[in-house]
Each structure stands twice: as structure tokens, then as C-alpha cells.
A and B are shown apart, each in its own frame.
Chain A
Amino acid sequence: MSFFKDAQKLFQQNIREYGMYIAFIVIIIFFSFATKGLFVSSRNIGNLVNATSYIAVLAVGMTLVIVIRHIDLSVGFLAGFLGAIAAISMKFWLFPSYLTIPLILGLGILAGLITGFLVAQMKIPAFVATLAGSLGYRGALQLVTSGTGTIIISDEMFNAIGNGFIPDIPGSGILPETHKVTLLLGLAAIILFIIGEIRDRRKTLSYNFEVISMSMFITKLVFVSAVIGGITLVLAGYQGLSWAAVVLLAVVMIYSFITTKTVLGRHIYAVGGNPEAAQLSGISVKKITYLVFGSMGMLAALSGILYASWLRSATTIAGTLFELDAIAAAFVGGVAVAGGVGKVTGSILGALVMASLTNGMNLMGVGISLQYIVRAAVLAAAVIFDVVTRNRGK
């Protein structure tokens, strides 16, 4: 029975994280049955990922902003505004997409640094500073689109980001109905994951630190491999991995790495946990604030690019309420309102949960008003679960 005991112990230690994975799986299973398999069809999952990506990248940036005890309400319209600038850049300035994208990302960083300046240097509460930013970028978006209305983007390379798929090996004859490159990538991901976990375990053991029991370890490997394998199979059944998914995966991997493995990540969480202690330890709270808002600005630009590319156009209302969706995703994903706590991967999962709810309920034909109420309940439930489990741990 030691297996179940181990499982129970592990579950109790990580109740918040595992609870969310389980909730996500329950949602997927529920919608799969309720929509007679339509929800987990390759095509729907592919669309779901594309439609989540622009909120998910914002949620990643928002996670860090909330971790350092701030908030950013400006990123929705900033994304919309920068999407419009991207469209203008390609349509009227005739910049190619490979120049437009870096330009937009650079503008995003600049916008983020301006917020950082207001918050870190001028000591304006982030809520106020970014509320002003939100109004300003909304005005700016309307201003640049006032003459033209919706700007249609015709650059194929740019539009591929939100709609296209990674190329496949052409006509090899084997597995004709599946996307072979996606399968190979999925397989590579599983192998890399297993090798990484085994190496990590060996290293931890060599330092004589405690590791989870062998049976739990194997269960974990099998479970995660099955999840990656399942997603890969589903995606490979349609047109394979979309570029939006590639962008999202890259953002998650880079930000996960920075937050968990690097000194910078450690300092971000230290500032969130105790700014005075961080400052006394020689960490510049100001510098961290600039960096976090700068990264938020860049991710807002990326969000604007993904959205404009997905719609193949820049609209006059692009970005409306993105920031609140991102904040909700972060909170559902386990980011603590008080700061200092929250993982990038959690927020991505939060974004996927919220998007799955919308998507699943749409497929079921649930009315929009009821959808809002269900999403409200999920957000509240997630935060209540958070508070209860955290208090019990003390």
C-alpha cells in the first residue's frame, strides 16, 4: 500500500497544482461527452490552442507582474494598438513582416518600460498608472484606425502565425492522414522529458537529498508522457502543430526556465515575497520592476501580433478586456493575489481552462450570459480553493 501512501503524500504537498490538473482533465472529459467527442476532435483542439494563445502569452507576463505585487490593466488595449501599428506598418509603410515583428516587439518593450518608470520611479500605484495606460492606448488605437476602420492584413507570412501550421515531410506515403513532423516533435518532447527527469533525479540523489519514491517517479513519467503523447496524437490528426502553438510553447519554456532556474527568476520571487528583505539583500527592486513591466510590454506586443494575425486584420476594438482575461487566467492558475506566489505553467493552464470553458459551452450551445456566470463560478472556486488550501497548510 506504500504506493498509495506515497501518492497521497505527494498530492497533499502539491494539492494546488495537482488540483488544477485534475480540474482541467475533468473539464475536458465532461465536454468530450457533452459534445459527443466534438470537443476533443483534432480540429477543435487546434482552434482552441490558436484562440487561447494571445491570452495565454499575456497571462505569462501578468503572472510575473502579480508576483511582484503589481497589476497591469493597460496590456489589452496596448496589444490592440500594437496590432494596429503592425497592420499599418505592413499595409501603408510597406514594411515586410520580418521587420514589422521586431519593430512591434520593441515598441511593446518601450511601452512596458514607460509603465515601469511610472511604477518604479514615480511610485505611482500600478493600478492607477496602468488604468491611465489602458485609456491612453484605447484612444491611440481609435486614433490610428479612425481613417481606415478595420485594416485588412494581406501579408501571408504574418497571417501564418495565427493561422498556419508547421510544415510536414511531403508525400512520403507512410501515415498519410497524420502530421508526421508533429508526431516526431511529440516523441522528441517525451524522450527529452524522461531524460531530463532521470538526470535530475540522479543529481538530487548524488547530493543525498530526498526524492520521490521510484514507483511514484515512474507513475509521473508515464502520466506526463501519456499527456504529451495524447495531445500530439490529437494535433497530428488535423494539420499538426500550429505556429501559434509553437510561439506559445516557446514563451512558456523560456519563462519557466527563467523563473525557476535563474538568479533573475529567484530575485523576482524574492521581491514579491518581501521587497524590503530583497532590497537589503542587494536586489534592486527598481530594476526588477522595470524588467517585469518591460517583459509584460513585449508579451502584450506578441499578443497583439498573434491576435491581428489570427483575424488577418486589425480592428478598432482589438484588445478589449484581454487584460481581465489574462488576470483571470493567472488567478485560476494559482497566482496569489498578495504576490510572491504563482507559476508560469499554472497561468497557462488557467488560460486553457478558461478558454476550454468558453469553447466547450459554445459547442454545447450554451448562451453567452450563462457562459459568463459559469466562468465567474470557476474563477471564484479556484481562488477559494487557493485560500483554503493555503490556510490549512499553516
Chain B
Amino acid sequence: MALPITIPIPKEKAMESKAEATPVVEMRNIKKNFAAVQALRGVDLVLHHNEVLGLLGDNAAGKSTLMKVLSGAYIPEEGEIFIEGEKVHITDPWHARRLGIEMVYQDLALANNLNVAANVFLGREVVGSQLGPLGVMNSHHMELETQRLLDRLKIDIPSVRLLVERLSGGQRQAVAIARATAFDSKVTIMDEPTAALSVAAISKVLDLVRELKAQGASIIIISHRLEDIYQVSDRMVVLRRGRKVGDCPVEGDIDEFRERVVAYIVGARDDFAEEEVNSVG
């Protein structure tokens, strides 16, 4: 514990060997009910190494529920989750984080009263020396590592000592994402990362997603904004009423893409219709 933690720099080559074969995340037949409402009716989802997956769907389609199952906030009634091929039973959000699953929540990610470095290292403070039960923090080390992390991800913030409440919405989102990807995370889930941001800030966040992908990260993005998904995702999964209705690569031009997605979302198109018949029957 006394050893200073350094934020690891991803080794892309090392990842390639593991990649392709086993998906980083595999969810099978996930079911989750809230009282009489079936929020998830047996959803499968696969995320490959170094892939950006867009998760789409109307309100109450089950996208957030599915991601909360993966990040440990909800326990599913049925279904299996595999992380890099190993079956896991996620019990709570902290457990999920230890497994390398990081979720960037819409609003509750950061403590506004603390500075950037303190937020990045929140819950993982670097201890310089131990004084009985009290760990004395090595603040300089954490600040330096945070600065390196921000530089590596090309995030422009004047000082890591700035309080988060002094940052713009886009900068806050960038810090939240940087923090989620900082420590050996295997998969980063972003829940509406561009909601409530200005146009300029949105493009910065999307740049950050591309940068993370270039550095080897595996990412799932939930978004209402189809353009965002189109711009950064390799593949998309569309949910409708708790079921997966579409799972295909993001390709073609934007209008074509939009048309296709809308068809899935409103129910005009369904690639997994048979399964519904089976599960209902």
C-alpha cells in the first residue's frame, strides 16, 4: 500500500495478443424486473477489445438498466456476465470497479468541492506514509500523475489544483472520463456523456473518446444523440422495450444510419424477433 501508484500507460501491443479471441465483456440473457415491469427480457451484449460500442434506444428501452447491471448498481434476476472470458457475479459498484468496469455517471461522478487531482484519485489516494490507522497522502505525487494523465489524453485544464466547481461542463465530463479510464480499467461505460454540454464541449468529449480508443480502451456509450454514436462508435446495439432489436456495425452515411436506427427504435425493424416469440411462448 505504501508504494506510490502510477497511472499505467496502456500497452497497445500487449492488448492485441489477448484481443479478438475473447470479448472483454459478454452478457448473456440478462433479465431484470422492477415489480411487475420487465425492464430487461433476456438481453445479450458483447464488447470486443478496443471497440467503441454505441448503446441506443428510446426512453425506458432498458439501456441504462443494462449498464447498471454491468456496473453493479443492479443485480439481475437471470443471466450471466463474463469479463475477459471469466464468469463474474457483480455484487456492487465498487466490486465492478475492482473488476475493471468503470461507469461515468451523468451527474454524480465528481465531488465539486475537491480539486481535479483529488477527484481523479478519489477512493485510491496514494499514501506516502502510514501513521497508525491514518494514511498520510502524497499529494504531490497524485497531482503529478493527474497532470500526466490529462496531458496523455490531451485534456486542457489550467491546473490540477483547480476545484471541480470552477470547471466548465465539458471539462468536468473530461475529468470524469479521465478518472474512469485512469486505473487499469477494462471497460468504460459512459452514460449520456454529451448531455447538457455545449456544441464545442461535445466535440471535445468525442475527441476524447477517439483518443481513448486510439490508446486501446474498450468503451460503451449510451446516448440519445445519434450523431455522437455515429461519429465515434464501431458498432451499435439497439434496445427496445427491454429486448435487443439491432446489433450491427456503424457504417454508411449519416442519413442512412439515422434512418436505420430510428426504424429499430420505433419497432419497424427487429433483427431478433424470433427470440421474443420463444421467450413469450
Binding site for B on A (CB under 8 A): 203-204, 207-210, 258, 261-264, 266-267, 269-270, 272-274, 276-283, 340-341, 393-394
**Closest CB of chain B to A12's CB: distance in Å?**
13
Given A203-B140, A273-B111, is A394 in contact with B135 using a C-beta cutoff of 8 Å?
A: no
Given A204-B140, A263-B137, A273-B113, is A281 in contact with B123 using a C-beta cutoff of 8 Å?
A: yes
Q: Does B144 contact A (CB under 8 A)?
A: yes
Sort A-B residue pairs by CB-CB distance and give the 8 closest, nearest first. Answer: A281-B123, A273-B111, A273-B113, A340-B113, A276-B108, A263-B135, A274-B111, A282-B123
User: B136 to chain A: which residues have CB within 8 Å?
Assistant: 261-263
Which B residue's beta carbon lies closest to that of A262? Answer: B134
**Do B94 and A266 touch across chains, with their CB atoms under 8 A apart?**
no
User: B134 to chain A: which residues have CB within 8 Å?
Assistant: 258, 262-264
User: B198 to chain A: which residues have CB within 8 Å?
Assistant: none
User: B97 to chain A: which residues have CB within 8 Å?
Assistant: 280, 282
**Do B122 and A277 touch across chains, with their CB atoms under 8 A apart?**
yes
**Do A280 and B94 touch across chains, with their CB atoms under 8 A apart?**
yes
User: A280 to chain B: which residues have CB within 8 Å?
Assistant: 93-94, 97, 105, 108-109
Which B residue's beta carbon lies closest to that of A283? Answer: B123
Which A residue's beta carbon lies closest to that of B109? Answer: A277
Q: Does B118 contact A (CB under 8 A)?
A: yes
Given A203-B140, A263-B135, A281-B123, is A274 in contact with B93 using a C-beta cutoff of 8 Å?
A: no
**Do B137 and A269 touch across chains, with their CB atoms under 8 A apart?**
no
User: B93 to chain A: which residues have CB within 8 Å?
Assistant: 279-280
User: A208 to chain B: which residues have CB within 8 Å?
Assistant: 144
**Do B114 and A273 touch across chains, with their CB atoms under 8 A apart?**
yes
In the assembled complex, the Cα of A394 lies from the Cα of B108 at a distance in Å of: 19
In-complex Cβ contact of B111 among A204, A258, A263, A277 (8 A): A277
Given A261-B136, A263-B135, A282-B97, is A269 in contact with B127 using a C-beta cutoff of 8 Å?
A: no
Which A residue's beta carbon lies closest to that of B127? Answer: A263
In the assembled complex, the Cα of A38 lies from the Cα of B109 at a distance in Å of: 54
**Do A207 and B94 touch across chains, with their CB atoms under 8 A apart?**
no
**Closest CB of chain B to A4's CB: distance in Å?**
23
Main DSSP-derived SS at the A contact region: helix
**Do A207 and B143 touch across chains, with their CB atoms under 8 A apart?**
yes
**Do B108 and A262 touch across chains, with their CB atoms under 8 A apart?**
no
In-complex Cβ contact of A263 among B108, B109, B114, B125 (8 A): B125
In the assembled complex, the Cα of A261 lies from the Cα of B135 at a distance in Å of: 9
**Closest CB of chain A to B273's CB: distance in Å?**
37
**Do B123 and A269 touch across chains, with their CB atoms under 8 A apart?**
no
In the assembled complex, the Cα of A393 lies from the Cα of B127 at a distance in Å of: 32
In the assembled complex, the Cα of A266 lies from the Cα of B124 at a distance in Å of: 11
In B148-204, the 8 Å CB interface with A consists of 159, 161, 165-166
Q: Does B91 contact A (CB under 8 A)?
A: no
User: B105 to chain A: which residues have CB within 8 Å?
Assistant: 276, 280
13 additional A-B residue pairs with CB within 8 Å, beyond A263-B136, A394-B166: A207-B143, A210-B159, A258-B134, A261-B137, A262-B135, A263-B134, A266-B118, A266-B122, A266-B137, A273-B114, A277-B122, A282-B124, A283-B123
User: B118 to chain A: which residues have CB within 8 Å?
Assistant: 266, 270
User: A278 to chain B: which residues have CB within 8 Å?
Assistant: 111, 122-123
In the assembled complex, the Cα of A340 lies from the Cα of B134 at a distance in Å of: 21
**Closest CB of chain B to A298's CB: distance in Å?**
15
**Do A394 and B165 touch across chains, with their CB atoms under 8 A apart?**
yes
In the assembled complex, the Cα of A55 lies from the Cα of B122 at a distance in Å of: 33
**Do B166 and A393 touch across chains, with their CB atoms under 8 A apart?**
yes
User: B131 to chain A: which residues have CB within 8 Å?
Assistant: 262
**Closest CB of chain B to A341's CB: distance in Å?**
5
Q: Does B112 contact A (CB under 8 A)?
A: yes
In the assembled complex, the Cα of A276 lies from the Cα of B166 at a distance in Å of: 20
Which A residue's beta carbon lies closest to that of B133? Answer: A264
In the assembled complex, the Cα of A276 lies from the Cα of B136 at a distance in Å of: 24
User: A269 to chain B: which residues have CB within 8 Å?
Assistant: 111, 113-114
**Closest CB of chain A to B142's CB: distance in Å?**
10
Binary A-proximity of B112-132 (CB < 8 A = 1, otherwise 0) = 111000100011110100010
**Do B137 and A262 touch across chains, with their CB atoms under 8 A apart?**
yes
**Closest CB of chain B to A202's CB: distance in Å?**
11
Q: Does B221 contact A (CB under 8 A)?
A: no
Q: Does B27 contact A (CB under 8 A)?
A: no
In B183-234, the 8 Å CB interface with A consists of none
Given A277-B122, A278-B122, is A272 in contact with B113 using a C-beta cutoff of 8 Å?
A: yes
Which B residue's beta carbon lies closest to that of A274? Answer: B111
In the assembled complex, the Cα of A52 lies from the Cα of B205 at a distance in Å of: 52
User: A207 to chain B: which residues have CB within 8 Å?
Assistant: 140, 143-144
User: A340 to chain B: which residues have CB within 8 Å?
Assistant: 111-113
Which B residue's beta carbon lies closest to that of A342? Answer: B113
**Closest CB of chain A to B162's CB: distance in Å?**
11
Q: Does B52 contact A (CB under 8 A)?
A: no
**Which of B111, B122, B124 has the most A CB atoms < 10 Å from its CB?**
B111
In the assembled complex, the Cα of A209 lies from the Cα of B147 at a distance in Å of: 10
Q: Does B66 contact A (CB under 8 A)?
A: no
**Which of A264, A267, A280, A282 has the most B CB atoms < 10 Å from its CB?**
A280
In the assembled complex, the Cα of A258 lies from the Cα of B135 at a distance in Å of: 9
In the assembled complex, the Cα of A276 lies from the Cα of B73 at a distance in Å of: 12
User: B108 to chain A: which residues have CB within 8 Å?
Assistant: 274, 276-277, 280
User: A274 to chain B: which residues have CB within 8 Å?
Assistant: 108, 110-113
Which B residue's beta carbon lies closest to that of A209? Answer: B143
User: B123 to chain A: which residues have CB within 8 Å?
Assistant: 267, 270, 278, 281-283
**Closest CB of chain A to B71's CB: distance in Å?**
9
In-complex Cβ contact of A270 among B111, B137, B166 (8 A): B111
**Closest CB of chain A to B260's CB: distance in Å?**
35
Which A residue's beta carbon lies closest to that of B108? Answer: A276
**Do B122 and A281 touch across chains, with their CB atoms under 8 A apart?**
yes
User: A279 to chain B: which residues have CB within 8 Å?
Assistant: 93
